[in-house]
Amino acid sequence: MHTKRFSALRRLGPACKKLWIACAIFAPPALALDDTMTPIEIPPQPDAIVLDTGPLPGATTPESWHSQYGSMFARNVTVATLTPFLPDEGKATGAAAIVAPGGGFLTLSMENEGWDVARALAKEGIAAFVLKYRLRQTPADLQEFQRAMAEMFSGAARRPPPEPDQAIAGLAPQIADAVAAFKLVRERAAEWNVDPDRIGMIGFSAGAMLTMATTLSTEAKPAFAGDIYGPLAPVTVPDDAPPLFVALAADDPLFGNTGFGLIESWKAAGRPIEFHLYGQGGHGFGMYPKETTSTNWFDAFVAWLRMENILEPRH
C-alpha cells in the first residue's frame, strides 16, 4: 500500500524537488490583517471523526492552536480527523468534497481554508468534509515556533531541496490520512446522502499538493480535484484522471512564477481542466473577502462543478 502511495507522489515529477522548500514554509495571506500569533484553547470539534490512521509515529509534542490573520490555525496535529458539513436534505446534490487546508505541513488554516470553505460548499448542496491531517512536529512553545519559522524563511533560499525520496517519505502520513478520509465517506455515503462516485477533493497550498498526490493515487480516485494556489509542477497524468480545477494569483510569491506544467500535463493528456490565473490575490487568499478578483474563485469553482455535471444526480 505504501509503495502505491509513494509511486503516486513520484508522478508529481522532478519539479516538485524545486518546490518542496517553498511548499514546506507557511505563507501568510496577502492581507492587511494582524499577523501576530496568539495562543488559543483548542476549540470544541464535536462532529470531528477520528480516522483510523493512528497517531503520528514518533510524535511527542501535543496538538495546539493559535490565532493569526483573524483566523484559527492548528499545529502539531498527531491524530487525523474528518469533520462533516452536510447540506440541508432538500438541497443536497449528492456530490461531496474532502477539504484539505494548507499551512506548509506545519500548521493547518482550519477556518479560512477549512471550515469556511466547507460551510460555503454545504450551502451549494455539496457535502463537505474537512480533513485535519497529521503534521510535521514543531516546537511546542509558540515564540520558539515563530523564531524557527523566521529562520526557515531566511535560510530557505540557501538550502538545497531534499531528494525526491525524502519528500515522498515526508508526505506518507498525510497521504494515508487523505485515503482514509475517502474510505470513511464512501463507507457512510448512504448515511450522509452522498453518491460514492461523486466524491472529490479540494486543497489549498500544501493541501493542494496533498490533493494532487491523492488524485494521482490509484487508491482514492477522486471524482474531481481542486488545486487552489498549489504547486504547478508537471505531472504524469493517468488515463482516468478526473476533471481538475486550478486557481492561482499571478502575484503569488510561491507559485506565481514557476510555470504552468501541471496545466500543460493535464491538457496534453486530454483530461478536463479549468485554470484561473487571477491578476492579484497573493498566496493564501482562501475565503478571505478581498477587493481582488481572486475572491471570485469559489463561485467559479461551483460553476465549474455544475458544468462538469458533478452536481447532477446520476442514476
Q: What is the pLDDT of residues 68-118, one digit of tens each?
A: 999 999 999 999 999 999 999 999 999 999 999 999 999 999 999 999 999
Q: Residue range 34-45: average pLDDT?
A: 93
Q: Is residue 150 part of a domain?
A: yes
Q: Is residue 21 part of a domain?
A: yes
The 10s digit of each residue's pLDDT in 22-31 is 444 445 555 5
Q: What is the CATH number of the domain that holds 15?
A: 3.40.50.1820
- Cα 280 to Cα 251, 265, 284, 293, distances in angstroms: 6, 25, 12, 7
Number of domain units in the chain: 1
Q: Is residue 315 part of a domain?
A: no
Name the band, by pLDDT with cuts 50, 70 and 90, for residue 64: very high
pLDDT at 63 over 50: yes
Q: Is residue 314 part of a domain?
A: no
Tell me if 77 sits within 8 A of 254, measured CB to CB.
no
The sign of the dihedral angle between the CA atoms of 88, 131, 223, 205 is: positive
Name the band, by pLDDT with cuts 50, 70 and 90, for residue 4: very low
Structural domain for 162, as ranges: 2-307
- Cα 13 to Cα 10, 163, 243, 306, distances in angstroms: 6, 12, 19, 31
Concatenated DSSP letters of the chain: -HHHHHHHHHTT-THHHHHHHHHTS----SSSS----EEEPPPP-TT-EE-TT-SPTT--SPPEEEEETTEEEEES--S-EEEEEPPPGGG--S-EEEEE--STTTEEETIIIIIHHHHHHHHTT-EEEEEE-------SSHHHHHHHHHHHHHHGGGSPPPPHHHHHHHHHHHHHHHHHHHHHHHHTTTTTT--TTSEEEEEETHHHHHHHHHHTSTTT--S-EEEES---------TTPPPEEEEEETT-TTTTTS--HHHHHHHHTT--EEEEEESS--S--TT---SSGGGGHHHHHHHHHHHTTTTS---
Q: Is residue 119 part of a domain?
A: yes
Per-residue model confidence (pLDDT) at position 21: 41
Q: Is residue 282 part of a domain?
A: yes
Per-residue model confidence (pLDDT) at position 206: 95
Tell me if 216 sits within 8 A of 12, measured CB to CB.
yes
Name the band, by pLDDT with cuts 50, 70 and 90, for residue 48: very high
Q: Is residue 215 part of a domain?
A: yes
Q: Is residue 126 part of a domain?
A: yes
